[in-house]
Amino acid sequence: MSLARLGKALLSSNLLQRQQVAAISTRSSVLGLEDFFETKLKEGEARTAGRAWEASDLRRKSWDDLHKLWYVLLKERNMLRTEKELAKVKNERLANPARVRKVQKSMARIKHVLTERAIAEPDLATSVRLRQFINAL
């Protein structure tokens, strides 16, 4: 299944679940909080994590794609931090701690690629503003 089809399937099933919960709930749902928690797997299903993004892959991406990827990784990082805290409360270990490092590496590599682009910018003022923005991430 392609990544786009998988994403659409997840979004539509998540939307359906939200609508079902909203239909039986007496109060409005807090949209967006579910992003801080990992979705539950079906019994017998294993959670898999891919590799960290390589800088060579990121160099081929547009500014918009890198921006979108940054926020996807940011949400993933926040979700993993939430899961880590929940595991700590339960005296358990994080299910797949390698995912945290992969997200960190990917985010650092995005900043590196953006910095390369800012340095290559011919206009000095624009280059300085871009580097300030990137360093603030």
pLDDT in tens, 98-113: 999 999 999 999 999 9
The predicted model scores a pTM of: 0.67
**Rounded distance, CA 106 to CA 109, Å?**
5
- 62, 51 in Cβ contact below 8 A? no
Provide the pLDDT confidence category of residue 81 given band limits of 50, 70 and 90.
very high
